[in-house]
Amino acid sequence: MHVVVTGASRGIGREMTSRLRAAGHKVTGTARDHSTDTRLNVSDPGQQARFAAQIKGQPVDLLICNAGVFLDKNMAIDDYSAEVWATSFATNVTGVFMTVQALLPNLRLATEPKIAIISSQMASHALAAGGSYAYRASKAAALNLGRNLAADLQPEGIAVGIYHPGWVRTDMGGEQGEISVEESAEGLLNEFDVLNVATSGCFHTWDGRVHAY
């Protein structure tokens, strides 16, 4: 199986990449810097085009859209800028779409292609607790994007799942997180294994529970 993982330089992305390789899969990890196989700023159209050209003709069985930013953690309303909003949406939403768009030819070459989009429980309208406006809104948009991609790609046999990775002890999640990187990665990979066209459009937690929209 050939898996592409965006945001593979740290945290959950790095752990999933490591586990997939240990299981014998071919993995192409990407990051904004040179710390992984491929440099890819998911919000940069030129880098997306170069990446697509680099793996042209190679089937991609699983695309994990994991790259994301959380720029407004604990940010006060008065401190928000247009740049915070623009960067959050460019990475967390536009970046997901452009990655899917760039790799669709590769996914179409696979037998049972899958796309996994890492969103967050903070995308849920049912859990609107306030604060983190740009992150919440961008992750909600990523959830909506995933649901609509699922509808459009299901006739082609491409399954799309959207996932909450848990509150993880990472640089983004902080030391107060409820689960470890290892627990999150293991649970997510189990979820990706069982994803299929019949369950396409699902919004699940890392441990298999159906999440409220």
- Tell me, rounded to whole angstroms, the distance of Cα 49 from its chain centroid: 19
Q: Where are the domains of the chain?
A: 2-205
pLDDT band at residue 136 using 50, 70 and 90 as cut-offs: very high
Which H/E stretch holds residue 134?
helix 133-153
In this prediction, residue 189 carries a pLDDT of: 98
Q: DSSP 3-state assignment of 203? A: strand
* pLDDT tens for each residue of 155-186: 999 999 999 988 766 555 556 657 888 999 99
Residue carrying structure tokens 């903070």: 122
Which tokens go with 170?
């990472």
Which phi and psi angles does 102 have, rounded to 5°?
A: -65, -35
This prediction's pTM: 0.94
Q: Is 83 exposed, middle or buried (0-12, 13-18, 19+ CB in 10 A)?
A: exposed
Give the C-alpha separation, 57 to 67, whole Å.
Answer: 24
Alpha-carbon gap, residue 48 to 16, rounded angstroms: 22
pLDDT tens for residues 80-101?
999 999 999 999 999 999 999 9
State which of 10-14, 73-77, 158-162, 178-182 shows the largest mean pLDDT: 158-162
The pLDDT of residue 108: 98
Per-residue pLDDT averaged across 133-151, rounded? Answer: 96
pLDDT at 123: 74
Percent of residues, the chain, with pLDDT higher than 90 = 78
Q: Report the CATH architecture of 2-205.
A: 3-Layer(aba) Sandwich (3.40)
How confident is the model at residue 97, as a pLDDT? 98
